[in-house]
Structure 1
Amino acid sequence: MKLKRIAALVLAGAMTLSLAACGSGTASKSGSGAASGSAKKASSVKVGIVTDVGGVNDGSFNQSAWEGLQKAQKDLGIQAKYLESKTDADYKPNIETFIDGNYDMIICIGYALANALKEEATANPDQKFAIVDDSSLASMKNVTSLIFEASQSSYLVGYAAGLTTKKNNVGFVIGQSTDTMNEFGFGYCSGVLDAGKKAGKKIKIQLANANSFADTAAGKSDANAMITAGADIIFQAAGGTGLGVIDACKEAGIWAIGVDSDQYHIAPKTILTSAMKRVDNAVYAVAKDTVEGKVKGGVEKFSLKDGGVDIAPTTKNLDPDVLKQVKEVKQQILDGKITVPKTRSDFESKYGKGIYTIK
């Protein structure tokens, strides 16, 4: 890889005059670490996205990321491109493709890319990167970690589920059991339990780990098992796998809860609401900072307070009284009156052990 990069630089130097005559050129890197570099002509700025295995049409966070970059392309005039990863083995080659293409910013979508990104960021210290849902590389000066308070939006949809369920039986399907993904679960279960307590009812919560973000069949199977066991609302935080959950809920005539983006359009008569994680806004912000030369390493956090997470704006399927109560608890979170658990220890200290059993 190093020899390849040196060869590319030598070739670029030899072709400088001909490139200038053609009206094109190679964008210069703007350094790393604290905010550095200078503003560039937007049309010369190249920003690329590397998806995880869910793909750009997962109806979830990969798709949201690409929509954010497309908006940046339209608004700012940058060059935008995505590369899909079909398997984990594609992560590193896809990142290297963008490095060799002299991209100013490379955004990795999902914590699954962290290992590949760490290797490439170490080998290319002048290349700027960003990664969604991972803070393990926060000490690297050329990596910006985009972190979301997913428990907050999940609490809101959990609260809605707890007030809406008729059978007092709801479900949650996760794509993979990690600290990042379990944050969705802790928030959702907290919301369900608090709503149940307020309504004076005990609600059963079924949990399943599909162990994939790209297996719709697994998502549908897990959802069908929950439906058979009495669930009438199922929340999924599982990327492309979640589409299978939605399909099962649609066939059974029960409510599904979407994730990351407003998934109402996928099944208008099935999606009760969605837990929004505004990856699109975060990607747009990174692209804008790249144009303006303001990119910096470290952690960028997005929460209810700054609109980084929220309950979906489409509320057609929510009972007006339920929506009113959800808005009330949202304000209590903003006011600091409700602190939503983000870790197992925080969740269990408040609600007890044996409730959240996903492995």
Structure 2
Amino acid sequence: MVLERAARNLISRRQWLAGAAGAGGLLALSGCAGSSVLGSGQSLKVGGVFAGSRSDKGFMEAGWRGLEKARQELGVQISFLDGMAPKKELLVPALTQLAEQGAQLVVAHGGQNNQAAAEVAARFPKTRFVVTQGLVQGSNLSSYDVLQEESAYLAGVLAALTTRTGVVGHMSGIRVPPGLKGRAAYAAGVRDTNPKVKLLTNFSGDQDDNALSYRVAQAQIAAGADVIFTMLNSGRDGVTRACREKKVRQIGNVIDWTAIDPEVFVASAWADVGIGAYLAVKDMKEQGAPRPGIVKIGLQDPAAVRLIMGQGVSAQVRSRVEQASKAIASGQLKVPEIYEGTEFAV
């Protein structure tokens, strides 16, 4: 109860942010959620939940950018909760609060919201809920899933082609479905390209702890890894520090890390997970509801999913990556979602 009260008080003094095309100024939070279909002159109210920092230079920030883009381009009003741990006992009251305070659409960013969103959506049948990178659906609940595992597979192809030691690493934090699928895809990309390459894979339990990620990266490097694929949020900086010290290359994800730090990053598994948030709001505004079921967005849309490679990647490697990309986009190659190999213990 203490945790629930704390979470429900997070936005007690926050206000709705008016969209660029909406009324000027700030509008006070309204009461209970109403119908999801807007009448003439009404402005759509959207709530967002981010279980982490909106400035993590990774997953959460990408989702926030998608919601902010919707505010600016579509003229909607947004309110949000962020900074809480990805725990159901915190996510349920956060989602509940946004619904109670007037959101007609609540966007829960990340698959860690699956259970919480399903529970809260059942209690608010007139409010629409969307989980980005989610696996849940219902009469008023949808998931918009940018298939980051497809670019993760390509990262595995590149890692297997460019390793000099024959050992590559993978690092992530919490075991949520997108992260698990990304690991499975990366492992498959490595295995399909060169089965002799050894994979070291670790879920540390925390997406944002740089001291922890630094230790894990040091351990993987000591075990021979010379390319490490990271699916972390703020905790990526710890890996980058270890890679820089030992001149090990890193493959980033979500955004283009090769443009941010080309000295360390050989590639980045681009997956604009913010597109899911933006499209959910766009569909709600234009059609009166998000698309039903689980909406999948993959390599067929390069703006959403692709592997970005640094300038030092050879033409031969680029060609192999492109072949794999075309095979996935055409449906010829199915990316595995389950990893059954060993774990790297620290």
CA offsets, 1:318-359, max 9 Å, x none? 233212221121112223332221224xxx6xxxxxx44379
For the Cα contact (< 8 Å) 1:259–1:274, is it kept in 2? yes
Unaligned runs of 5+ in 1: 2-21, 32-36, 349-354
Over the aligned positions, Cα root-mean-square deviation in angstroms equals 2.7
Q: Name the CA distance, whole Å, in 1 between partners of 2:344 and 2:295.
A: 28
Q: Secondary structure at the match of 2:194?
A: helix
Q: Name the CA distance, whole Å, in 2 between partners of 1:46 and 1:317.
A: 46
Residue aligning to 2:233: 239
Q: CA 1:23/1:187 → structure 2, altered by over 3 Å: closer, same or farther? A: closer
Match of 1:151 among 149, 152, 157: 149
Q: Secondary structure at the match of 2:34?
A: coil
Residue 250 of structure 2 corresponds to residue 256 of structure 1? yes
1:266 shift after superposition: 4.2
Residue 60 of structure 2 corresponds to residue 62 of structure 1? yes
Q: Name the CA distance, whole Å, in 1 between partners of 2:252 and 2:294.
A: 26
Q: Secondary structure at the match of 1:58?
A: coil
Q: Which AA in structure 2 matches 1:30?
A: S
CA offsets, 1:279-298, max 9 Å, x none? 11111111111211242442
Residue aligning to 1:229: 223
Match of 2:335 among 329, 340, 344: 340
Q: CA 1:229/1:51 → structure 2, altered by over 3 Å: closer, same or farther? A: same
CA offsets, 1:220-244, max 9 Å, x none? 1111100111111100123333332
1:308 shift after superposition: 7.2
Query: Which structure: greater helix fraction?
Result: 1
Q: Which AA in structure 2 matches 1:273?
A: A
Residue aligning to 2:134: 134
Q: CA 1:179/1:165 → structure 2, altered by over 3 Å: closer, same or farther? A: same
Q: Which AA in structure 2 matches 1:270?
A: V
For the Cα contact (< 8 Å) 2:249–2:266, is it kept in 1? yes
Q: Which AA in structure 2 matches 1:118?
A: A
Q: TM-score, normalised by structure 2?
A: 0.82
Residue aligning to 1:219: 213
Residue 94 of structure 2 corresponds to residue 94 of structure 1? yes
Q: Name the CA distance, whole Å, in 2 between partners of 1:64 and 1:290.
A: 20
For the Cα contact (< 8 Å) 1:275–1:309, is it kept in 2? no
Q: Name the CA distance, whole Å, in 1 between partners of 2:343 and 2:256.
A: 27
Residue aligning to 2:267: 273
For the Cα contact (< 8 Å) 1:40–1:291, is it kept in 2? no
Match of 1:172 among 155, 170, 173: 170
Q: Name the CA distance, whole Å, in 1 between partners of 2:263 and 2:39.
A: 46
Residue aligning to 2:34: 29
For the Cα contact (< 8 Å) 1:261–1:312, is it kept in 2? no
Q: Secondary structure at the match of 2:170?
A: strand
Q: Name the CA distance, whole Å, in 2 between partners of 1:357 and 1:282.
A: 31
Q: Secondary structure at the match of 2:234?
A: helix
Unaligned runs of 5+ in 2: 5-24
Residue aligning to 2:282: 288
For the Cα contact (< 8 Å) 2:258–2:310, is it kept in 1? no
Q: Name the CA distance, whole Å, in 2 between partners of 1:288 and 1:118.
A: 22
CA offsets, 1:149-178, max 9 Å, x none? 333211101111111111111100122334
Q: Secondary structure at the match of 2:103?
A: coil
For the Cα contact (< 8 Å) 1:143–1:297, is it kept in 2? yes
For the Cα contact (< 8 Å) 2:153–2:186, is it kept in 1? yes
For the Cα contact (< 8 Å) 1:141–1:296, is it kept in 2? no
Match of 2:294 among 281, 285, 299: 299
